[in-house]
Structure 1
Amino acid sequence: MNSTPLNPATDVLASDVARQEVLSALNELLEAERAGARVAMETGREITAPELAALVEDIHRDEVRWCSLLMRTIKSFGATPSSATGAFWGKAMDIPDVDERLKFLNRGQAWVVRKLEALIPRIEVPAAREDLKAMLQAHRHNIDRVESRFASQPSIDSPRTTDEPPPSDASALVAYILRRFHEVHRRQLPELIQLANKVETVHADHPSAPRGLTVLLEQMHSELLDHMAKEEGVLFPMLARGGSSFVTHPICVMMSEHEEHGRRVAQLMAMTCQATPPEDACRTWVQLCSATRQFADDLQQHIRLENEVLFPQFDLSLAHVQGSDSR
């Protein structure tokens, strides 16, 4: 989109192309809000739970309000508002499950947030700009409210009160590591990536937004999956059978990769302010930080258990190093 701003008070644009682009963006938002209003209205008729019904009614009321605002804004630019309803309405109503439809509606709200963030800097008239900023904040608030409905579901940051102490026998310890850490990491990282993407998308203009966190987590996910696959396919079967004279090299490779994982964890904690959300963080952001802290603790515990307990049983040089370590 061209970055030339619009001043509706004088109807002056740097070019007709820029004017049409801005009006097209406003009409696209209007059609999307009209679709969101219909989704909320029709979904509300299916809901009997009072609390959820009130939430959906609030969303419907907001969507109607923003439709009116967008129509007034378009008219103030000397143009005719679109009368169409966005295709989002049909796609949403094809989803029979109400919870899944609400999640889809939230993705639509996040799309509106991104569109508004791109459009607002182009609006020069203060009143119009402030109206669109209010629309932006309301969408962020409603996104958080819908997300909070699902926040009580079991998640990766739930405390683990039933962890048993790791066994000392090598074969049993390998089985413990697979169950306690490998299986857990495979659940943790996809959920962390999803949370990070939501926070980065919804709060892109927040000064404390963890920019680049989703990319970092995706890198960690790929690297950890590759690392665990090598342990499960090569090293762990050898250790479970009692080891051999050939285990030293794969152990050294795994320990080298552990060092890289440790550097990634340091990056992760720095990017999330040591897994500490800002004071005005939404529930999703708080959940992201809690889950990040849990994942980092789990991964560090995982690495220590292999480096300091499992591997030294098969490489005497490591046992010597651990025995002389004064920490």
Structure 2
Amino acid sequence: MITFPLSTNTLVKDIVNELPKTSDVFKKFRIDFCCGGNIPLSKAIAENGINEEALLDELRVVFEKNSSTETDLEVWTKSDSTTIIDHVINHYHRTSQEELSLLSPYVTKVSRVHGDNHPELLKVYELFYEFKKELIDHMTKEEEVVFPLIKQLADGTVENREEAINMIVELEKEHDHAGEILRQIRAVTSDFTLPLDACGTYRLVYKRLEDLEGLTFMHVHLENNILFPRYF
């Protein structure tokens, strides 16, 4: 169990595994805890030029708030693979599919109406639709092909273990690319900073894009750092 004082040698992903709420702190400090979570906290601090004391203070607050309550660790670290897969599909896939569909017309409208004065919105439009297509294709592949293979790996009935492992590795590469698109969206929007003339729809788009980023990070973290490593 991870406790305070927290060692900066602890891996970022292990901190999130222990207490998922710390993901909010890492997101605030722009530390990648999903695709890039397999590094010590000290390295993440150094790479991002973060004030170590400020980060540790916020992590400490999260630990203290949750020290006397049971968190959702069963879903994250203790459940069998089928339970985790069902959780990913029902919570992350379905939620992401719905949000991508609902958010699309707003992204289109804002880029069309405000793109002349804010050309970054044209780039947001381009990146969003690239992300949408890739994530939908990715989730379909997971549900129709890879998740069934993982279940076979779990119960020892898979026919070609090497092929199954290779497909998991391919999913991780797709996660990396999705993460890169999200990083580009965050960069081009200056961390979702709204201009003075931002209308209600403009504000809605930035807020929901940031929420979608957080949803995707948690989705990827659950797979990359908890589910997939069981089979390597």
Is the TM-score greater than 0.5?
Answer: yes
CA distance in 2, matches of 1:283, 1:303: 30
Aligned to 1:310: 227
Task: Answer 1 or 2: higher relative contact order, Cα 8 Å, separation at least 6.
Answer: 2
Contact 1:195 1:288 (C-alpha < 8 Å) held by counterparts = yes
Residue 281 to residue 164, structure 1, CA distance change in 2 (3 Å): farther
Secondary structure of the 2:122 match is: coil
Match of 1:284 in 2: 201
Alpha-carbon offset, residue 200 of structure 1: 1.2
Report how far residue 177 of structure 1 moved: 0.4
Deviation at residue 176 of structure 1 after TM alignment: 0.2
Distance 2:219 2:178 in 1: 11
Per the alignment, residue 166 of structure 2 pairs with 249
Correspondent of 2:214 among 297, 318, 324? 297
Question: What secondary structure does 1:234 align onto?
Answer: helix
Secondary structure (helix, strand or coil) at the match of 2:96 reads: helix
Measured after TM superposition, the shift of residue 292 of structure 1 is 0.5
Instruction: Give me the whole-angstrom Cα distance separating, in 2, the residues matched to 1:276 and 1:199.
Output: 15
CA gap 1:164/1:187 in 2 versus in 1, 3 angstroms = farther
Match of residue 95 from structure 2: 184
Summarize deviations over 1:44-89 as a string: whole Å, max 9, x none.
xxxxxxxxxxxxxxxxxxxxxxxxxxxxxxxxxxxxxxxxxxxxxx
Could you tell me which of 215, 231, 255 is aligned with 2:142? 231
- Once the two structures are TM-superposed, the CA of residue 262 in structure 1 deviates from its matched residue by 1.1
Query: Normalising by structure 1, what TM-score?
Result: 0.44
Equivalent residue in structure 2 for 1:197, among 101, 108, 129 = 108
Q: TM-score when scaled to structure 2? A: 0.61
Which residue does 1:169 correspond to in 2? 80
Which residue in 2 is equivalent to 1:272? 189
Answer whether contact 2:103 2:208 (CA < 8 A) is retained.
Answer: yes
Cα distance between partner residues in 1 of 2:88 and 2:171:
14
**Unaligned stretches of 5+ residues in structure 1:** 1-162, 316-327
Measure, in 1, the Cα distance between the counterparts of 2:90 and 2:107: 25
- Aligned partners of 2:220, 2:214: CA distance in 1, in Å? 10
Q: Does 1:220 align with 2:137?
A: no
Cα distance in 2, alignment partners of residues 205 and 298 from structure 1: 30
Q: CA deviation at 1:208?
A: 6.3
- The letter for the 1-side match of 2:92 is F
8 A contact 1:220–1:264 mirrored in 2: yes
Tell me the residue number matched to 1:100. Answer: none
SS of residue paired to 1:275: coil
Structure 2 SS opposite 1:281: coil
8 Å contact from structure 1 (residues 275, 289) kept in 2: yes
Amino acid at match of 1:263: E
Closer, same or farther in 2 for the Cα pair 1:188/1:311, shift >3 Å? Answer: same
Q: Which runs of 5+ in 2 are unaligned?
A: 1-70
CA distance in 2, matches of 1:274, 1:192: 18
CA root-mean-square deviation:
1.9
